Structure 1
Amino acid sequence: MSTPAPDPRPDDERLPPWAGAPGFTPGADGLPPHAPMPGAPPYPEPPKREPGPPERPPRTRFVAALAAAAVWAVVNVVLVLAVVGPPAGPAALGAFVGALVVPVLLAAAVVWAIARRRAWSFWMLVLATAPVFWVVRAFLGAAG
């Protein structure tokens, strides 16, 4: 034989001192009152999500590869200006900068062809573009 648990409420029907705590729920069905436990069920229903178009994974854009190749073109201009000095005139500077357009486009196309399936960070694109840019620049400089 088991004896029923004693009623935790005082005989004068006063509430216990912790009964005013946040989250207090008065007892129901003859059970003693208690505060809810953190994370206790029932959990709210998750919001209904409208089916939309399937999400495409992020990819590397050609513009990002082009910007990474342009970084090395700027480095090339700065190195030439620092080592050789300023060009003879604006026409010579324009011809030099114009000669960098083709290596930038070719290096960007090669790196983009490699990186287009995934999203590469910009610094990874810059590092991957460096050898491609300088090799293309050397071949075009030797050919021209």
Structure 2
Amino acid sequence: MSRPEPEDTEGPDQLPSWAGAPGYAPAADDLPPHAPMPGAPPYPAQPELPPPSIIRPATGSTYRAAVSATAIWALVNLVLQLVIAGPAPSLRAFGILLGSLVVHTLLGALLVWIVARRKVWPFWYLVVLALPVFWIIRIALVALVGS
């Protein structure tokens, strides 16, 4: 009786006979390239990256954006005043109206900016936030000064 011949386990699709031995760790195909061997030509130079941007990232909504958002409601107030009450009887009355709108706009913008200064808000968020702030300040100060 003869012993069967061992089959050839090494081939292009087969692992070598020592592949299952203790301590064997298969190499991954996605390893980064190694340093060139001594005497080999050097790798091509790495392209230089552009310098980093110097522009500081925005950290919050600006006071200018808050003033712009609040000024929209001041213009709405001015248009309503001119449509409902008609033109001002004198230039002095019109100047007082504009002066009070400027003061109320700046105060309202200050409150809007205090709320929105921590992060950048879209402009329409500021406009919606400025709506109650402007009108409450406007009504409160007109009631205080008017009485």
Per-residue CA distance 1:59-94 (angstroms, 9 max, x = gap) = 211011001111111100100111111110211111
Give me the identity figure in percent.
Answer: 41
Distance in 1 of aligned mates of 2:125 and 2:137: 19
TM-score by length of 2: 0.62
**Counterpart in the other structure of 1:56:** 57
Question: Counterpart amino acid of 1:75?
Answer: V
TM-score by length of 1: 0.63
Cα separation, partners in 2 of 1:53 and 1:139, compared to 1, 3 Å: same
> Helix, strand or coil: the match of 1:100?
helix
Comparing 53-62 with 123-132, greater Cα deviation is found at: 53-62
Distance in 2 of aligned mates of 1:112 and 1:49: 36
Distance in 2 of aligned mates of 1:126 and 1:70: 9
Distance in 2 of aligned mates of 1:56 and 1:135: 33
CA shift for structure 1 position 129: 0.3
* Residue 73 (1) aligns with residue 108 (2): no
Higher Cα radius of gyration: 2
Distance in 2 of aligned mates of 1:130 and 1:46: 53
Per-residue CA distance 1:11-60 (angstroms, 9 max, x = gap) = xxxxxxxxxxxxxxxxxxxxxxxxxxxxxxxxxx6752535668434421
> Helix, strand or coil: the match of 2:94?
helix
> Helix, strand or coil: the match of 2:89?
coil
Question: Counterpart amino acid of 1:122?
Answer: F
Q: Which runs of 5+ in 2 are unaligned?
A: 1-7, 9-45
- Larger RCO, structure (CA 8 Å, separation 6 or more): 2
Q: How many residues align?
A: 106
Q: Which runs of 5+ in 1 are unaligned?
A: 2-44
Distance in 2 of aligned mates of 1:52 and 1:70: 34
Distance in 2 of aligned mates of 1:59 and 1:46: 36
* Residue 94 (1) aligns with residue 90 (2): no
